[in-house]
A and B are shown apart, each in its own frame.
Chain A
């Protein structure tokens, strides 16, 4: 009992619980990843076989593929809780509400990173992206962009997955909010892939950091108000 009384332990316990559920239902993560890969392929058909055009649009398409497959992950994160009144039980445990949110964000982050681990190399192959010299900054863009996206996605899914028409409601709520992330992540990635000729990747990185800080804090503060049973 005493060992699990610290916030970090509770956050980790919730993340571990969600990841265990995810690991035992392997079909879900496999189909989400396949959907991400499929999105890349379909966009490739839509943009056309010209390799220069493909390379120019690659960063934006990759981020769209991640966004579309991520939406599927967030829904699941609460759907499991709603079955058998698990959410009510979770809320009865001692601890703060924000710890539940932080745990879920950590679990969703791991899942989305896993999806990216498959989808990004696929994009490199499909779209002929050259491995850039600024790969460390590029990694920072991917990580920061994903944090912003997963934080808001997990936050909005807490509401959307319990409302009517949840399939359309989550993207409707989430995508307009993600415009800064999508712009900063795809423009930043595109700039870095081209070797950052205009030196503007730094501005996009700072924008991502600001977005992440603002919305991580706001979500942690406000989550207690939206999750009441």
Chain B
């Protein structure tokens, strides 16, 4: 009886984005875009093949920002509507965004060692990306340390909004403090022979991002669903004893 009050959320809300096809499309797009980047563009004059790291580093950085933008919008919408799906979407995007930010930092470090001669430098973009990474690690920690789902949703929405608000301020403050990074790479600052590799890879990573977030969202829904069913079963058993 009560079970029908909560229809299977996974079945009801299965979105077209969670079709396995999207995962395959993203994978093929990523392989094709990487091959294009590796083979079609000439090695850079000074950096040689080292420059190819750009095809993962820059798309990962852009898509990390897209995921944190999703976190911000979904958090605001959660506080506004109090619908659980926005909270689960924010959490899914935060996890994927944290991985992409970590990837950006790691690849940047690997690229920086031979190019700049150091693994790490206290430059504006580098440092603010590290701070952003820490903000979202703490977002995930808060979620892990809070048991009540409704409270967890409200709290992490607040932390997500504050974190996103702080990104431009952190960036400004670190830029005034110290700057060394080259102007950020975008199709307009790189040679045309690299621009297409960059664009294609950005789209491929974006597809991957959508697939991961959709998949993670589906898992989160399934988890909530089983939690609710477990609670109902416990309640029914209690009722039976009484």
Query: Taking CB as reference atom, which chain B residue is nearest A187?
Result: B177
Given contacts A164-B145, A226-B154, contact A184 B173 (CB under 8 A): yes
User: Are B173 and A222 in contact, CB atoms less than 8 angstroms apart?
Assistant: no
User: Are A210 and B169 in contact, CB atoms less than 8 angstroms apart?
Assistant: yes
User: Are A163 and B145 in contact, CB atoms less than 8 angstroms apart?
Assistant: yes
A interface, CB within 8 angstroms of B: 152, 155-156, 159-160, 163-165, 169, 172-173, 175-177, 179-180, 183-184, 187, 200, 203-204, 207, 210-211, 214-215, 218, 222, 225-226, 228
Q: Measured between C-beta atoms, what is the minimum distance from A97 to chain B in Å?
A: 12
Given contacts A163-B146, A187-B177, A218-B162, contact A180 B169 (CB under 8 A): yes
Q: Within B135-171, which residues are at the interface with A (CB < 8 Å)?
A: 135, 137-138, 141-142, 145-147, 151, 154-155, 157-159, 161-163, 165-166, 169-170
Query: Taking CB as reference atom, which chain A residue is nearest B163?
Result: A177
Given contacts A172-B141, A222-B79, contact A214 B172 (CB under 8 A): no
Tell me if B10 counts as interface (CB < 8 A to partner A): no
Among B135, B138, B155, B163, the one with the most A-chain Cβ atoms within 10 Å of its Cβ is B138
Bound-state CA distance A214–B168 (Å) is 12
Sample (19) of A-B pairs whose CB atoms are under 8 Å apart: A156-B159, A159-B158, A159-B159, A163-B142, A163-B155, A164-B146, A169-B145, A172-B141, A173-B142, A176-B134, A183-B173, A183-B176, A207-B173, A210-B169, A211-B169, A214-B165, A218-B161, A222-B79, A222-B158
User: Are A228 and B145 in contact, CB atoms less than 8 angstroms apart?
Assistant: no
Tell me if B174 counts as interface (CB < 8 A to partner A): yes
7 A-B pairs closest in CB distance: A180-B173, A176-B134, A163-B145, A172-B138, A164-B145, A176-B135, A159-B155
B interface residue count range (under 10 / 10 to 19 / 20 to 34 / 35 or more): 20 to 34
Bound-state CA distance A172–B142 (Å) is 9
Instruction: Choose one: A165, A180, A228; the contact of B170 (CB below 8 Å).
Output: A180
Q: Measured between C-beta atoms, what is the minimum distance from B3 to chain A in Å?
A: 29
Q: Which chain B residues lie closer than 8 Å to A173 at the CB level? A: 138, 141-142, 159
Q: Which chain A residues lie closer than 8 Å to B162 at the CB level? A: 152, 155, 177, 215, 218, 222
Query: Taking CB as reference atom, which chain B residue is nearest A175?
Result: B134
Q: Which chain B residues lie closer than 8 Å to A228 at the CB level? A: 151, 154
Q: Measured between C-beta atoms, what is the minimum distance from A227 to chain B in Å?
A: 9
User: Are B159 and A207 in contact, CB atoms less than 8 angstroms apart?
Assistant: no
Q: Within B115-148, which residues are at the interface with A (CB < 8 Å)?
A: 131, 134-135, 137-138, 141-142, 145-147
Given contacts A172-B141, A173-B138, A225-B79, contact A207 B176 (CB under 8 A): yes
Task: With A155-B162, A222-B161 given, name 14 new contacts (CB 8 A).
Answer: A152-B162, A164-B145, A165-B145, A172-B141, A177-B166, A183-B177, A187-B176, A203-B176, A218-B165, A222-B79, A222-B158, A225-B158, A226-B154, A228-B154
Q: Which chain A residues lie closer than 8 Å to B135 at the CB level? A: 176-177
User: Are B138 and A176 in contact, CB atoms less than 8 angstroms apart?
Assistant: yes
Q: Measured between C-beta atoms, what is the minimum distance from B95 to chain A in Å?
A: 17
Q: Measured between C-beta atoms, what is the minimum distance from B94 to chain A in Å?
A: 14
Q: Which chain A residues lie closer than 8 Å to B165 at the CB level? A: 214-215, 218
Interface string of B93-104 (1 = CB under 8 A from A): 000000000000
Q: Which chain B residues lie closer than 8 Å to A176 at the CB level? A: 131, 134-135, 138
Bound-state CA distance A218–B169 (Å) is 14
Query: Taking CB as reference atom, which chain A residue is nearest B171?
Result: A180
Bound-state CA distance A225–B141 (Å) is 19
Q: Measured between C-beta atoms, what is the minimum distance from A224 to chain B in Å?
A: 9
Bound-state CA distance A222–B163 (Å) is 13
User: Are B173 and A179 in contact, CB atoms less than 8 angstroms apart?
Assistant: yes
Q: Which chain A residues lie closer than 8 Å to B177 at the CB level? A: 183, 187
Q: Which chain B residues lie closer than 8 Å to A175 at the CB level? A: 134
Q: Measured between C-beta atoms, what is the minimum distance from B150 to chain A in Å?
A: 9
Q: Which chain B residues lie closer than 8 Å to A169 at the CB level? A: 138, 141-142, 145
Bound-state CA distance A180–B146 (Å) is 27
Query: Taking CB as reference atom, which chain B residue is nearest A172?
Result: B138
User: Are A179 and B174 in contact, CB atoms less than 8 angstroms apart?
Assistant: yes
User: Are A225 and B142 in contact, CB atoms less than 8 angstroms apart?
Assistant: no
Bound-state CA distance A200–B175 (Å) is 13
Bound-state CA distance A203–B138 (Å) is 29
Bound-state CA distance A163–B147 (Å) is 8
